[in-house]
């Protein structure tokens, strides 16, 4: 099978999808933005051909590249795994008559108000929301729904440029901030109180072949606001044994059906609180922040290869063992500047060393990244353990003990 894979080199874990495809027997043609001689020998060795374009989100350029490939070989699939690429790739996929995620599905997964409207019409609980192209539309929604509200760019990914506002004055300030950044259209939605997590699948023809449930501590907006917090998320190994996950898994299946997701990775953010279970963000792509590495470590499997098997052969090749829960704790520098050193690492290694998956500890002199840059922006530690509650306590201890000193 000939697979065209979009952007094999960046971010770094993209190479794992290419590796998986090569290992299950696909012929891989890469299309990306980096010059071919920037790619290392290993990555080039997994691909039969690499084609450079100025931008993989430039639809005419991407379409021309895929057409060039189709002149040489039959293209069975055109795949991408990055949120920002999904719409352009879907448009080219339909223009070139290649099977895969449709423009409709990609649009619904990128445009948050349209997504939520489609889900509400199908009876899937989600927050009240609207798309707004003017301040008047935002104020009208606020008068109707009340505060708090969540604001975000319509095609945003994750928590990027997401704001919570609790009053009209905060709303006015937020709108001014978006205006300065050139954001012309935003999604506005009701704030849903509750615990936050995500439900991810690798689906084949719309049916989950593998699924995973993760929990945020604390919720994402809180995590992205406070330097002193060492936020974490944990992928539980109790997916098949806890009754509370039945509703989540059933609703995830309904979401995939409503949005038309077929053979694809999915990422679904959810809240559970006084109003019950609500879905928030849906993506027809893998999660970010290294979640698939945690799923692989927790389930003694290679999920990148499983994705490739789904794309190429239409079936999984492994079972998820649910042997471990796996999690990450982000470690923030104590101030902006450059990293000067670490403390507490030896203590954590002596206590939890056998459960450490890996660590990322940028060397002294590395410039720090801002708090809002995310879980993997600075230092982090990833662990696994057979008991979810024990793992949660271990991650708490890492966050309290390991300090990143900057100056």
Closest CA to 317 of 303, 327, 329: 303
CATH superfamily of 195-406: ATP-grasp fold, B domain (3.30.470.20)
Q: Can you name the residues that pair with 382 across neighbouring β-strands?
A: 328, 358
What residue spans in the chain does CATH classification 3.40.50.20 cover?
Answer: 2-100
Instruction: Domain 128-190: state its class.
Output: alpha beta
Distance CA 88, CA 61 (A): 10
pLDDT, mean of residues 209-221: 95
pLDDT bracket for residue 157 (50, 70, 90): low
Q: Half-sphere exposure (CA, 13 Å, Cβ side) for 191?
A: 16
Q: For the structural domain made of 2-100, what CATH number should be given? A: 3.40.50.20
Residue 304 to residues 15, 17, 210, 239, Cα–Cα distance (Å) = 10, 5, 12, 20
- Please state the pTM of the whole predicted model: 0.90
Tokens of 197: 């997590």
Distance CA 1, CA 27 (A): 6
Q: Would you say 38 and 64 are in contact if contact means Cβ atoms under 8 Å apart?
A: no
What residue spans in the chain does CATH classification 3.30.470.20 cover?
Answer: 195-406
Distance CA 18, CA 15 (A): 5
Q: Would you say 105 and 115 are in contact if contact means Cβ atoms under 8 Å apart?
A: no
pLDDT bracket for residue 181 (50, 70, 90): confident
What residue spans in the chain does CATH classification 3.30.1490.20 cover?
Answer: 128-190
pLDDT digits (tens, 9 = 90+) for 343-391: 999 999 999 999 999 999 999 999 999 988 889 999 999 999 999 999 9
Taking residue 29's Cβ as centre, other Cβ atoms within 10 Å add up to 23
By the 10 Å C-beta count (0-12 exposed, 13-18 middle, 19+ buried), 59 is classed as middle
Largest CA distance in the chain: 59
């Amino acid at each position: 099978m000939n697979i065209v894979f979009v952007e094999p080199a960046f971010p770094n874990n993209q190479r794992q999808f290419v590796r998986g495809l090569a290992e299950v027997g696909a012929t891989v043609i890469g299309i990306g933005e980096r010059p071919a001689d920037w790619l290392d020998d290993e990555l080039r060795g997994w691909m039969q051909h690499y084609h450079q374009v100025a931008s993989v989100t430039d639809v005419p350029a991407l379409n021309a590249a895929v057409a060039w490939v189709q002149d040489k070989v039959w293209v069975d699939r055109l795949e991408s795994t990055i949120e920002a690429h999904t719409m352009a790739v879907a448009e080219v996929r339909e223009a070139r008559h290649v099977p895969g995620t449709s423009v409709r599905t990609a649009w619904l997964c990128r445009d948050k108000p349209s997504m939520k409207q489609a889900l509400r019409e199908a009876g899937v609980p989600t927050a009240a929301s609207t798309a707004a192209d003017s301040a008047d539309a935002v104020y009208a929604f606020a008068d109707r729904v009340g505060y708090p509200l969540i604001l975000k760019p319509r095609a945003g990914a994750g928590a990027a440029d997401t704001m919570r506002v609790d009053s009209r004055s905060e709303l006015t300030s937020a709108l001014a901030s978006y205006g300065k950044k050139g954001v012309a259209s935003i999604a506005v939605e009701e704030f849903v109180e509750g615990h936050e997590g995500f439900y991810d699948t690798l689906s084949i023809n719309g049916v989950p072949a593998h699924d995973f449930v993760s929990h945020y501590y604390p919720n994402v907006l809180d995590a992205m606001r406070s330097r002193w917090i060492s936020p974490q998320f944990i992928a539980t190994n109790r997916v098949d044994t806890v009754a509370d996950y039945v509703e989540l898994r059933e609703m995830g299946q309904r979401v995939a059906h409503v949005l038309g997701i077929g053979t694809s990775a999915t990422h679904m953010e959810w809240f559970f609180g006084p109003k019950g279970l609500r879905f928030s963000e849906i993506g027809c792509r893998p999660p970010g922040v290294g979640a698939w590495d945690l799923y692989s470590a927790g389930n003694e499997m290679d999920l990148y290869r499983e994705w490739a098997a789904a794309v190429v052969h239409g079936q999984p090749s492994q079972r998820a063992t649910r042997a471990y829960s796996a999690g990450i704790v982000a470690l923030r520098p104590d101030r902006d500047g450059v990293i000067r050193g670490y403390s507490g690492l030896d203590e954590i290694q002596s206590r939890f060393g056998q459960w450490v998956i890996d660590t990322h500890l940028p060397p002294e002199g590395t410039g720090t990244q801002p708090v809002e840059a995310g879980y993997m922006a600075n230092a982090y530690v990833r662990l696994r353990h057979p008991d979810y509650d024990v793992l949660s306590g271990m991650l708490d201890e890492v966050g309290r003990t390991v300090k990143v000193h900057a100056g």
